[in-house]
Chains A and B, each alone.
Chain A
Amino acid sequence: MEFTIRAATLEDCKDISRMILELAEYEKVSDQVKIAQRDLEQDGFSKNPFFHGIIAEVPEHLKSKEGHTKVGYSLYFYTYSSWKGRAVYMEDLYVMPEFRGKCIGKALMSKVSQLGLAAGCSQLNFTVLDWNKSSLDFYLKQGCWDVTSDLGYHCMRCEGDALEHLAQGDL
């Protein structure tokens, strides 16, 4: 299939927002999405962006059933390992269902990897859900390792009231 991989622009935020919601709807958690198109525009395309985006686009004659040519995306940002230095974190990787099986996902991941290496990063990090066996197997075969499984590192979160209490020093 013919497709292009390119850096996301401000104009892509409408489609990125659409695809974020598609993914959330598929996971039956669309009520958890609090971010709108204008948040993406502000957070990703101002002077100090909090993320960067890559878009997968098909030509007009291959557009989706609903008429979309932007059919996949990845969101990533730079992080820092206190052991190894610069790293890149792939936060989202999504391809619309009707465009899967055509290496678009692999191409998006490849682009994030290239950009990370070019920026001097020595590792690419991301999370995978433990029920997603096909993805887990794919990544393990590529030489990735499961830090949670191998080193026992758990991802923790402090949010909402807990965060507010911490900020107020309610310990």
Chain B
Amino acid sequence: MASFILRKAEPKDVSDILRLIKELAKFEEMEDQVILTEKDLLEDGFGDHPFYHCIVADVPKQHQSADSHVIIGFAMYYFTYDPWIGKLLYLEDFYVMKEFRGFGIGSEILKKLSQTAVRTRCSSMHFIVAEWNKPSIDFYKRRGASDLSLEEGWRLFKIDKQNLLKLLAILHAVQNGSTAERFV
């Protein structure tokens, strides 16, 4: 199977994008964590100020998957910023369906992303990988990626909405104890 195209995702692709997001999450044993809907993807990816960008891998109908899909891979990314080096490209998700691996589709997607990063003058591409995911870690290290968590001690932290609201309440209480500050 040689023919596939990589293209920018369109609004009509959101159903496939969500399907592939869930497949990847299932592989990471996190399927129940996906609460995103097609509506969210549509609103957040295709408005005036998109929160993300997406590339999809499209195969001709005669090569469709066992369950009749022609969108068989995707990458979701967005731009971030490092105040020391400037613009970065952040790779949020990157996945090719199992039956379509080994044909160079993943490598082509990565190449396209890197070209986008270089073209938009990003100095680096960042992403996260689970430490148990040895094949992926090897895939990226073979291509020159470095592990910032191991090498520089960076740990990724997350606060969810419930705790964010609690944090705000604490911070407000602290601030109300301080003298004469105001928020504009």
Residues of A that sit less than 8 Å from B by CB: 1-7, 16, 20, 24, 32-35, 39-40, 43-44, 48, 50-51, 75, 77-86, 89, 91-92, 102-103, 106-107, 109-111, 113-114, 116-117, 121-131, 136, 139, 142-149, 151-169, 171
User: For A121, what are the chain B residues with a Cβ–Cβ distance below 8 Å?
Assistant: 161
- Tell yes or no: B15 within 8 A of A by CB: no
User: For A139, what are the chain B residues with a Cβ–Cβ distance below 8 Å?
Assistant: 157, 159
Q: Please determine whether B83 and A75 come into contact, CB atoms closer than 8 angstroms.
A: yes
User: For A51, what are the chain B residues with a Cβ–Cβ distance below 8 Å?
Assistant: 81, 83
User: For A145, what are the chain B residues with a Cβ–Cβ distance below 8 Å?
Assistant: 157-159
Cβ of A62 to closest chain B Cβ, rounded Å: 11
User: For B78, what are the chain A residues with a Cβ–Cβ distance below 8 Å?
Assistant: 79-80
28 A-B residue contacts at CB 8 Å? A1-B179, A1-B181, A2-B181, A4-B181, A5-B183, A5-B184, A6-B184, A39-B86, A78-B51, A79-B80, A82-B36, A83-B21, A83-B36, A84-B35, A91-B80, A103-B181, A109-B167, A113-B167, A122-B161, A123-B160, A124-B159, A139-B157, A143-B163, A157-B125, A158-B124, A163-B124, A166-B111, A169-B111
Q: Please determine whether B49 and A123 come into contact, CB atoms closer than 8 angstroms.
A: no
Known pairs A154-B128, A157-B145; A106 contacts B171 (CB<8 A) = yes
